[in-house]
Amino acid sequence: MAYFLQQLINGVTLGSIYGLIAIGYTMVYGIIGMINFAHGDVFMVGAFIALIAFLALTTIGITAVPLALLLVLIIAMVLTAVWGWTVERVAYRPLRESFRLAPLITAIGMSIVLQNFIQIAQGARVKPLQPIVTGGYELFHQGSFSVIVSNIQILIVATTVLVMGAFWLLINRTELGRAQRACEQDRLMAALSGVDVDRTISLTFVLGAGLAAVAGLLYLLYYGVIDFFIGFVVGIKAFTAAVFGGIGSIPGAMLGGLIIGLIETFWSAYFTIEYKDVAAFSMLAIVLIFFPTGLLGRPEVEKV
């Protein structure tokens, strides 16, 4: 029981990070029907920006942990959003009216460009960050095994809940969010209603990148090391999460992230760690057989 609870805590933590990234995949798919394969790498760039920001803040003497975290969060979100915006502007927008596979190909190209750029600029070796958020609480113990929830886990889940809540309000309660949803449903009608569709698509990339930056920061704090390749590995998981939950659905992405995080953690804990990815992808295949559009996805055909 204690072991199970511990894995649950670990799984939810990992799932939070996947969920934050999955939203970026799902939103871009929702609005322009394209899989943004570079999104995982935008997350990786976010993690690097966070790392550099930490080092820079330490150099200028800002070491109070809450303040440093807040500043790094803001810096990472803003700068990563600029990257997300640039990727869309440079690689996707010029091909908007092109054949369907074109943006997919540039997305893969963009992913390689970002990976190689970081590899050259930052080096190929893993980059460590000294632990910043330490400590935790022992919930209880059973025999020699104690269930621990660490402060970093609390921080990750709390930040995720907060950020997702704010994001939810933005999408569902503001004019900006309404315009975003309108473009998702009918771009031509949105334009006829006075919405600048290109600007809204840019905004979608900016929001997705901002959330990926939060995930990048949390990942960095949790694992303490990053390298130029994490975007690929984590990105594929988050993409799987988006498909699992129903690509195009924002609640689906959150739910999918959580489930993938849990499957991975529990599989590693009870079976073999080597096959944790196989477990996640197999579950995806099974779910897609019974729910072809994912758990919370909507069927393509609608009554109009």
Partner 1 sequence: MTAPLLALDGVTVGYGLLPVLHDVSLQIRSGEIVCLIGANGAGKTTTMMTICGRPRVSHGQVVFDGTDISQHPTHEIARLGICQSPEGRRIFARMTVMENLQMGAIVANTPDGFESDLARVFALFPRLADRSNQRGGTLSGGEQQMLAIARALMGRPKLLLLDEPSLGLAPLVVKQIFEAIKELNAQGLTVFLVEQNAFYALKLANRGYVMVNGRITMTGTGDELLASEHVREAYLDGATGPEEEVSIS
Q: What residues make contact with partner 1 under the rule CB under 8 A?
A: 175, 178-179, 181-182, 185-186, 188-197, 298, 302-304
| Smallest distance from partner 1 to CB 91, Å | 22
* Rounded-to-integer distance, Cα 235 and Cα 111, Å: 10
Joined tokens for residue 267? 């599989």
Nearer to partner 1, 70 or 176 (CB): 176
User: By C-alpha distance, which of 2, 39, 48 is closest to 21?
Assistant: 39
| Smallest distance from partner 1 to CB 195, Å | 6
* Rounded-to-integer distance, Cα 90 and Cα 235, Å: 21
DSSP secondary structure of 96-155: TTS-THHHHHHHHHHHHHHHHHHHHHH-SS-EE----S--EEEEEEETTEEEEEEHHHHH
DSSP secondary structure of 37-52: TTHHHHHHHHHHHHHH
| Smallest distance from partner 1 to CB 289, Å | 26
Nearer to partner 1, 55 or 189 (CB): 189
| Smallest distance from partner 1 to CB 176, Å | 11
* Rounded-to-integer distance, Cα 79 and Cα 25, Å: 19
| Smallest distance from partner 1 to CB 97, Å | 12
Nearer to partner 1, 1 or 304 (CB): 304
Joined tokens for residue 60? 């200028």
Give, in degrees to the nearest 5, the angle at Cα 60 between 115 and 58: 55
| Smallest distance from partner 1 to CB 178, Å | 6
Indicate the angle between helix axes 151-173 and 2-32, nearest 10 degrees: 30
Question: Which three-class secondary structure state does DSSP give residue 288?
Answer: helix
| Smallest distance from partner 1 to CB 196, Å | 5
| Smallest distance from partner 1 to CB 187, Å | 10
Nearer to partner 1, 170 or 189 (CB): 189
Exposure string of 199-222, with b = 16+ CB inside 10 Å and e = fewer, is ebbbbbbbbbbbbbbbbbbbbbbb
Nearer to partner 1, 128 or 186 (CB): 186
Nearer to partner 1, 146 or 185 (CB): 185
Nearer to partner 1, 96 or 133 (CB): 96
H-state helical runs in 246-275:
250-270
DSSP state of 296: S
Nearer to partner 1, 190 or 243 (CB): 190
Tokens 């334009």 belong to 191
